[in-house]
Structure 1
Amino acid sequence: MTIVRQAARAEASPAPAPAPGRTRPRSKDLRIALLFIAPAFLGFVAFYLVPTIRGIYLSFTRYNLFGDPKWIGLKNYTDIFKDKLFWNSLWVTLEYVVLNIGFQTVIALVLAVLMHRVAKSTLVRGVLLLPYLIANVVVAMVWFWMLDYQIGIVNQLIDWLGLPRIAFFGDQAWAIPTIAFVNVWRHMGYTALLIFAGLQAIPGHIYEVAALDGASAWKTFWRITMPLLRPVLVLVMVVTVIGSFQVFDTVAVTTGGGPINATRVIQMYIYQRAFAESDFGYASALSVILFIILGIVAFLQMKFLRGNESDLS
């Protein structure tokens, strides 16, 4: 009975409080973690948060470098919706995004599957990533020279085949598809590696079970690989779509927005309004609208493509 009573008292008594010294390592780790995070956080505040807030404020003003901002309310936004150049730039940007994302995603998916099943050499994967490591301006200049109407090696080959030469960057019908092709060539290796990482995360025993059930490679790809790869594909789509909406350097180096307005993408239009026409208030309003568009597009992609769900769980 004595032993039973002692056991009951031990259960009823509260657990001993942890020694004060045990909590010190956690607080010390927290301070060290904050110390490491501080440079990135300060950079985010200085180069992202503060400029964003200031840009939103300037979008409600009339401002140039020769005077102080003058508050005009929603006038910039009402002018934008009546601006034909804005709607043209938005349409040109959408055309570029559809071409760039469509071809880039399909080609990257094929390359990722080939790397996963056939080409397992690290050298091959490095070669695929090589175009992405080259500066975009350099890539644009090289392709601009190769596709030149007079001296470009591509047009010389077309001429040798007896076909009419093509003004890739000078023709309104060819300009945007050509710019999209250049950026597809540069980014497809990097996108393929992202998808390849998603393929490696799929457990191998699932494919073994499918093989035992007699599933063909084609059916396995559509019934197993694609559903399990969906979260990675959605992430890739969100990142690449946001990047495509912000295309600028390739256009600035090759066409400058021409011919006429055929390649005046929205980022190019923002740049021209800000630095060519010194209308920073209007350019800020254009930037805010682009920010809202990108936010809506990313939300819709995550919502309807169920990017935050996985069939592995």
Structure 2
Amino acid sequence: MVKDSGWPVKRRKWNAEMWVGYGFIFPTMAAFLVFSLIPTIGVIILSFFDWNMINTPVFLGFENYIEMFSRSEFWHSLWVTVQYVLYSQVTKIILALSIALALNQKLPGMKLFRIPIIMPWIVMPIAVGIVWKWILSPSTGLLNYYIQQVGLPTVTWFSPGNVLQSIALVDVWQYFGFTTVLFLIGLQGISPMYYEAASIDGANKWRSFWHITLPLLRPTFLFVLVTAVIGSFQVFDIVYATTQGGPGALSKVYYYLIYEKGFQQLQMGYASALSVFLFVVLMIMTMIQLRVFRDNQ
């Protein structure tokens, strides 16, 4: 009797809960399928074809990839992107960690600075690029105006020698606040008892930072590095709004090359091959970062 009366009820309850659970995750899975998985598979397939978005696609096999690796513009854009990533991410991480350490101090008024530093992050990158193009203008720019007021020589920000650093400056300004908040969350998750024990043992602030703060911030560093590197390799909005790859091709980052080949020259197959290569590179870099941080734990 217990088996007959209890089992069917339990089974009906499990089925109801199961379908409710599927109902909750269905919108997310459908969005992932429609906007991520299917387009990704489509790009991979299209990378083996020649298609100008008008005529019928022509199968080429691996010719797009062979052509990609044989072109100097591919290697140039890749090198430009690597330089940009180094300029922006090293500066951003050092600045964000320094500000997070300051905001983590128990001083009056520190909490008031947390909201302003995150505000640039919520602005559209294309709008940020347009505004900063005006601010960094060599003749009418606001930044050069204030530089002149203090008696310093003006800077041609988008000149061949400064263009990548200037674009990295814009990226750092927009995203350092978000990175700061991430580090601040990580710092607040460290128990004060570690520092109290270190002070009892005679450790100064530098040794406590090196042997306590940095090791316990490793998960935060991992998340920041993975997301920052992926985001930096996909930079496009700021470059498009400020330099459009110029002067010459000195700021033609990898994503701008994809845009140029796909939507200006209508070489969609070749642009897809570029996209697939970037996807593989980012996946490999993410796996390496995960492995390095896991081995150091």
* TM-score by shorter chain over 0.5: yes
1:192 aligns with 2:180: yes
Instruction: Please list, as runs of the form range in 1=range in 2, the aligned pairs for 1:89-100 lying within 5 A after superposition.
Output: 89-100=77-88
1:48 corresponds to which of 36, 39, 43: 36
Which whole-Å CA distance do the structure 2 matches of 1:164 and 1:114 have between them?
32
Note the C-alpha offset of 1:18.
9.8
Aligned to 2:131: 142
Aligned to 2:6: 19
Which whole-Å CA distance do the structure 2 matches of 1:118 and 1:261 have between them?
48
Amino acid at match of 1:174: N
Q: Secondary structure at the match of 1:165?
A: coil
Residues 246 and 18 of structure 1: is their aligned pair in 2 closer, same or farther, counting only changes over 3 Å? Answer: farther
Q: Secondary structure at the match of 1:38?
A: helix
Note the C-alpha offset of 1:24.
4.0
Does the CA-based 8 Å contact 1:76-1:282 persist in structure 2? yes
1:103 aligns with 2:91: yes
Which whole-Å CA distance do the structure 1 matches of 2:147 and 2:20 have between them?
62
Does the CA-based 8 Å contact 1:77-1:285 persist in structure 2? yes
Residues 115 and 164 of structure 1: is their aligned pair in 2 closer, same or farther, counting only changes over 3 Å? Answer: closer
Does the CA-based 8 Å contact 2:89-2:228 persist in structure 1? yes
Note the C-alpha offset of 1:180.
0.3
Which whole-Å CA distance do the structure 1 matches of 2:132 and 2:49 have between them?
40
Q: Secondary structure at the match of 1:240?
A: helix
Residues 73 and 18 of structure 1: is their aligned pair in 2 closer, same or farther, counting only changes over 3 Å? Answer: farther
What is the TM-score with the length of structure 2 in the denominator?
0.93
Deviations 1:191-220 (A, max 9, x none): 111111112222222222122222111111
Q: Which moved more, 1:136-145 or 1:242-251?
A: 136-145
Amino acid at match of 2:21: A
1:290 corresponds to which of 278, 281, 286: 278
In structure 2, runs of 5+ residues without a counterpart are none
Amino acid at match of 1:19: G
1:244 corresponds to which of 219, 223, 232: 232
Q: Secondary structure at the match of 1:19?
A: helix
Does the CA-based 8 Å contact 2:103-2:111 persist in structure 1? no
State the percentage of identical aligned residues.
38
Q: Secondary structure at the match of 1:306?
A: helix
Residues 77 and 208 of structure 1: is their aligned pair in 2 closer, same or farther, counting only changes over 3 Å? Answer: same
Amino acid at match of 2:42: R
1:115 corresponds to which of 103, 106, 109: 103
Aligned to 1:159: 148
Deviations 1:247-267 (A, max 9, x none): 000000000000000110000
Which whole-Å CA distance do the structure 2 matches of 1:222 and 1:24 have between them?
56
Which whole-Å CA distance do the structure 1 matches of 2:103 and 2:10 have between them?
49
Note the C-alpha offset of 1:23.
4.6
Which whole-Å CA distance do the structure 1 matches of 2:225 and 2:14 have between them?
39
Bigger Rg over Cα: 1
Aligned to 1:79: 67
Amino acid at match of 1:245: F
Which whole-Å CA distance do the structure 2 matches of 1:287 and 1:189 have between them?
29
Deviations 1:75-106 (A, max 9, x none): 00000111111111000000000011100111
Does the CA-based 8 Å contact 2:261-2:267 persist in structure 1? yes
Does the CA-based 8 Å contact 1:172-1:259 persist in structure 2? yes
Q: Secondary structure at the match of 1:117?
A: coil
Deviations 1:276-313 (A, max 9, x none): 00000000000000101101111111112328x75xxx
1:204 aligns with 2:204: no
Note the C-alpha offset of 1:246.
0.2
Instruction: Please list, as runs of the form range in 1=range in 2, the aligned pairs for 1:292-311 lying within 5 A after superposition.
Output: 292-306=280-294
Does the CA-based 8 Å contact 1:231-1:306 persist in structure 2? no
Q: Which moved more, 1:114-123 or 1:80-89?
A: 114-123
How many residues align structurally? 294
Amino acid at match of 2:147: I
Aligned to 1:8: none
Residues 174 and 118 of structure 1: is their aligned pair in 2 closer, same or farther, counting only changes over 3 Å? Answer: farther
Which whole-Å CA distance do the structure 1 matches of 2:70 and 2:288 have between them?
26
1:217 aligns with 2:205: yes
Amino acid at match of 2:249: N
Amino acid at match of 1:29: E
Aligned to 1:3: none
